[in-house]
């Protein structure tokens, strides 16, 4: 389903976003972090395209795919720990927001919309990235933690909606992966896919996104304008 006529689009007062591939282009940093961590244990590096194909399901999934298949489990865990340790010092040096993201979030907030972040990135990484690149923009932000299970489990999205004082029917979840669309479906929210991230627009349509956009500024057409 898609909504090409902006006038016919449903309106929502709660917008929750995935992070990597949706708000922030983090791939260049993920390549450096992953290959530095692999090389520390004498493991072969991966190409940018390979690492691109591994992202979207959190750091653990990324590392488990990046190490050679016959890697000892203990070594894999050590690579994972090195990755997390490095993240705190070099994790965001090459990261940047996608075009028009910051202005769009500000416009949504001017329209009275509540905004949040829900990511499969580990929670400390989410907080660090949001604080550095999107400071003061979001009302809530969560990553994977003991309390927030991985998407497409809807628990984190439902918790974020509750923290924003909203409900699923008033909420849109925005992400760049089929898993994000499944998360929205599981939580009962509207689902918007973004075609500028780590998955193609066709993949998002096949996942049955309610809409797929190619420019962040399109998002405001799903928000009420309290200034009118």
- Write the pLDDT tens digit of every residue in 87-126: 888 767 899 999 999 999 999 999 999 999 999 988 998 9
What pLDDT was estimated at residue 59? 84
What CATH number does residue 196 fall under?
Answer: 3.40.50.1000
pLDDT, one tens digit per residue, over 10-29 is 999 999 999 999 999 999 99
| One domain for residues 17 and 130 | yes
13 is catalytic: no
**Which one of 48, 74, 90 terminates a domain?**
90
Catalytic, out of 13, 18, 176, 180: 18
pTM exceeds 0.85: yes
- Total number of domains in the chain: 2
User: In this predicted structure, what is the pLDDT of residue 111?
Assistant: 96
54 shares its domain with 130: no
User: 32 lies in which domain range?
Assistant: 27-90
CATH number for position 82: 1.10.150.240
Which parts of the chain register pLDDT below 70?
Answer: 1-7, 91, 227-228
Distance, in Å, from the CA atom of 62 to the CA atom of 79, rounded to the nearest integer, reads 11
């Amino acid at each position: 389903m898609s909504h090409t006529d902006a006038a016919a689009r449903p309106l929502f007062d709660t917008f929750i976003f995935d992070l990597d591939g949706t708000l922030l282009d983090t791939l260049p940093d993920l390549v450096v972090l992953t290959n530095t961590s692999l090389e520390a244990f004498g493991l072969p590096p991966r190409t940018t395209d390979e690492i691109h194909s591994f992202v979207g399901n959190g750091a653990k999934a990324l590392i488990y795919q990046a190490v050679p298949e016959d890697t000892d489990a203990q070594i894999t865990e050590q690579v994972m720990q090195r990755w997390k340790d490095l993240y705190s010092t070099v994790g965001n040096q090459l990261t940047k927001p996608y075009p028009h993201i910051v202005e769009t979030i500000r416009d949504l907030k001017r329209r009275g919309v509540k905004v949040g972040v829900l990511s499969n990135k580990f929670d400390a990484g989410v907080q660090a990235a949001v604080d550095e690149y999107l400071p003061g923009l979001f009302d809530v932000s969560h990553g994977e933690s003991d309390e927030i299970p991985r998407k497409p489990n809807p628990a984190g999205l439902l918790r974020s909606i509750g923290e924003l004082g909203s409900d699923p029917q008033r909420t849109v979840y925005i992400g760049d992966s089929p898993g994000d669309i499944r998360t929205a479906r599981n939580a009962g929210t509207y689902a918007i896919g973004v075609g500028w991230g780590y998955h193609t627009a066709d993949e998002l349509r096949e996942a049955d996104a309610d809409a797929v956009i190619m420019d962040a500024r399109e998002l405001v057409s799903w928000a009420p304008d309290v200034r009118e």
